[in-house]
Structure 1
């Protein structure tokens, strides 16, 4: 495995607990800090930079930039209308950098699944275990909103884990084939 690929995977691995923290804080406080969004952006840009140097192609970096700008522009009116929070908009705009342009379709599918799961739980909170139900009901009584950072972070974590698994699988299988030849 290349040192650049390993460093890129390390940056993505560091992003996983950060995204878990974002999800937990968004659920409990209904806030996504700018520091966490900026750190996610830096980790994503670092990983993309390393992969771009490794492959010699800047296509993924350009695609991620375009995706981030499109998401920011598309979600900004929803923030103005108070349908989503500013932290959710910023977090979604950073996701193409963290995921990479080639992982956006997988991220979107995971996001759809987790968003539907959140909607089902919001409509039927009795499906939750007793402790989680109590925490959820207290949270909803206090805020009256849905934490969109949770499905965004969960989808990103699953996508990053899948990308890391695929990268490690390809790197180790290509190494084994080179040793056999």
Structure 2
């Protein structure tokens, strides 16, 4: 396994841990800190840079930058209308850098599934087993707040885990083939 691939996998692992933290803090406090978003952006840029050095192409970086700008521009009016929080807009704008431009379709499908599940839990808290958790979700429903950072983080964690699995499978299979020849 190459050093660039190893560094990329370490950055992706750190991003998964940080996304877990973002999901928990957004769920518990309804806040996403700028520090966490900037750390995710740096981890995403580092991973994309490693990928660009491996492939010799900067196309992935360009697609991610365009995707980030488009997402920010599309979600900013919803923040002005107070439909989503500023942290959610910033977190979504960083996702193309973290996920990469080619895997945004997978991320979007996962995000849709997680967002539907989150909306179902918030609207139907009686489906949840624990009384305290049900009480908390009912409180969120009364306030009209949905911690959208949770489904964003969940979808990103799953997409990154798939990327890591695929990268490890390709690295392992190519290493085995080289040893046999």
Q: TM-score range by the shorter chain?
A: over 0.9
**CA-based RMSD:** 1.0
Please say if residues 122 and 140 of structure 2, whose CA atoms lie closer than 8 Å, have aligned partners that are also in contact.
Answer: no
Query: C-alpha distance in 1, partners of 2:144/2:82?
Result: 13
Q: Deviations over 1:26-79 (max 9, x none)?
A: 111111000000000000000100110111000100000000000000000000
Q: Which residue does 1:134 correspond to in 2?
A: 135
Q: Aligned residue for 1:36?
A: 36
- 1:71 maps to 71
Task: In structure 2, list runs of 5 or more residues that go unmatched.
Answer: none
Partner of 2:176: 176
Residue 27 of structure 1: aligned partner: 27
Answer yes or no: is the 8 Å Cα contact 1:92–1:152 preserved in 2: yes
* Unaligned stretches of 5+ residues in structure 1: none
Deviations along 1:2-33, one digit per CA (max 9) or x if unpaired, are 11011011001001111011011111111100
CA distance in 2 between counterparts of 1:135 and 1:177 reads: 53
1:28/1:139 contact within 8 Å kept: no
* TM-score, length basis structure 1: 0.96
Partner of 1:154: 154
Q: Which runs of 4+ in 1 moved over 2 A?
A: 134-141
Higher deviation after alignment, 123-132 or 71-80: 123-132
Q: TM-score, normalised by structure 2?
A: 0.96
